[in-house]
A and B are shown apart, each in its own frame.
Chain A
């Protein structure tokens, strides 16, 4: 099921949104118990929304996503629908407002089926830290789908929906896209409104799409992007034109294959990136090897900055205004009991790490130093983009790994994000596109990176790789 074909078919009256949604709900029913993709399904609401889309189409509305079923990561607020961010502390919470992206999708005729599983508060790389159990990879259910947006990726990979939204703080769209054989876009910071996205690390978080194809991802991004007065970090400009540039190709483009974005990757991943470089060369680009040593500092900087911001953002879960409350004799005891019961281990680890990095005596050595590394990272990328247009590397070091393989070793799990983190620190754009297969026929993703606002160029390059299908 392709989102462009669905929308065209619904607009032409060849099918109805209700029929399309009903078909997707059947696929969810077939595999959701096995895969644990949707942690909240709103079948009735989705069918009602689909009926309204059909009415709008009948009344002559031209909707870009007419009748397209979507999955929403569970950190996106939907008014009146359970929204937990994968955490027990928000069990049963029903937001009193919609995230901006949710409203924009609905306005374009898309129909949300429900909320997709995720690592708790988006902290994880495997969707195993969810309070609602792990999601399994539809391509091999003994393996993880990646994370933190693993439910969104699995929903698309399992054919339950053609497209989905996730959020990417350190790779949480691109890494699961790679592990599930999908296109995943981490847009330029500020391109997509974060209003109604449950905050993890506010200077890094961005919402973006998952899809089987570049064209579908581009269309969804066009719908959700563009200035939003409700997000003070939203770029003050309209959504970029992406779909009209998909066939721009890469002729004359300069591409840098980044040594540090393949270092430590499995040989089959390295091989896929090399073949991607050859494909781009055949399509008319010039590819040269580049080195950006600062990338190696990204992981350390990220695991100080993101927890620091998280420790502040998650202070709001105090049992007072919404979510879980565990009673105690006084207000502080209530706060402690609520947070102790409500947060899982990974969230506690990151809150403590962030609290430590920000605490008196350590601030300069850890958080302060990480912010300076961030400056260095931005400068290093700027120097690279003075020489080349686009950077190329791996998305993840390996294909999807087995469930439970890294849950006892946080640092090993953190290393899954080593190639994706630098883009978030720089606030720039990157796309993961499937390119070939590795162990057990599992997909490999390659990553294309560009400066801020380079989405059209990145998607055009991704399209060249997509057309070659990994050859």
Chain B
């Protein structure tokens, strides 16, 4: 596999909602390339037919009885939010001005 490029790291940072300046981009590209280089020992393995394990004991749905019980206190939860309007989490504008 090709060595990791700056453009790929810039794309990944965008996807992860992280802004990088040029110096950081250079440094992170080098460091991430080094880790991926180490991971090359996996690339060479023939693992055809091996089932992947995403979880040590496998994951099964666990459901509780459908009974009413207390949930978190709304005021206590909202008190931790950066911005609240009328008992709701408030965020900056999502939709732009109409053209």
Contact = CB atoms under 8 A, between A and B. Distances in A.
Contacts of B45: 297, 369, 372-373
Nearest to A97: B72
Contacts of B42: 297, 300-301, 304, 366, 369-370, 373
Interface stretch (A179-187, A277-285, A320-328): A320-328
B39 A300 contact: yes
A325 B82 contact: yes
Interface stretch (A55-63, A142-150, A347-355): A347-355
Contact of B32 (A297, A301, A343, A352): A352
B53 A328 contact: no
A226 to B, nearest CB: 16
A301 B47 CA distance: 13
Interface residues of A, number: 68
A47 to B, nearest CB: 24
Interface string B47-88: 100111111110101101000000011001100111100000
B35 A414 contact: yes
Contacts of A410: 31, 34-35
A375 B82 contact: no
A291 interface: no
Given A300-B38, A300-B41, A373 B47 contact: yes
B35 A427 contact: no
B7 interface: no
Interface string A301-343: 1011000000100000011111111011111111111011001
Contacts of A343: 18
Contacts of B82: 319-320, 322-325
B80 A322 contact: yes
A299 B36 CA distance: 11
A203 B38 contact: no
Given A300-B42, A331-B93, A374 B16 contact: no
A297 B80 contact: no
A244 interface: no
A402 interface: no
A166 interface: no
- Majority SS at the chain A contact face: helix
Given A331-B94, A336-B19, A322 B81 contact: yes
A311 B15 CA distance: 10
Nearest to A322: B80
Interface string A186-225: 0001100000000000010000000000000000000000
Given A297-B45, A301-B42, A327-B92, A351 B18 contact: yes
A323 B89 CA distance: 13
Contacts of B8: 356
A329 B92 contact: yes
A238 to B, nearest CB: 17
Contacts of B62: 229, 232
B93 A330 contact: yes
Nearest to B73: A96
Given A300-B41, A322-B81, A427-B56, A353 B19 contact: no
Nearest to B39: A300
Contact of B35 (A303, A327, A368): A303
A355 B91 contact: no
B22 interface: no
Given A299-B38, A330-B96, A411-B34, 17 more contacts: A203-B54, A233-B59, A300-B42, A323-B80, A330-B94, A331-B93, A337-B19, A348-B16, A352-B13, A353-B32, A356-B8, A369-B42, A372-B47, A372-B52, A376-B50, A378-B53, A414-B35
15 contacts: A189-B57, A300-B39, A301-B42, A323-B80, A331-B91, A348-B13, A349-B32, A352-B16, A352-B18, A356-B36, A372-B45, A375-B50, A378-B53, A410-B34, A410-B35
Q: Which 6 A-B pairs have the closest CB atoms?
A: A427-B56, A371-B52, A325-B82, A372-B47, A232-B62, A372-B50
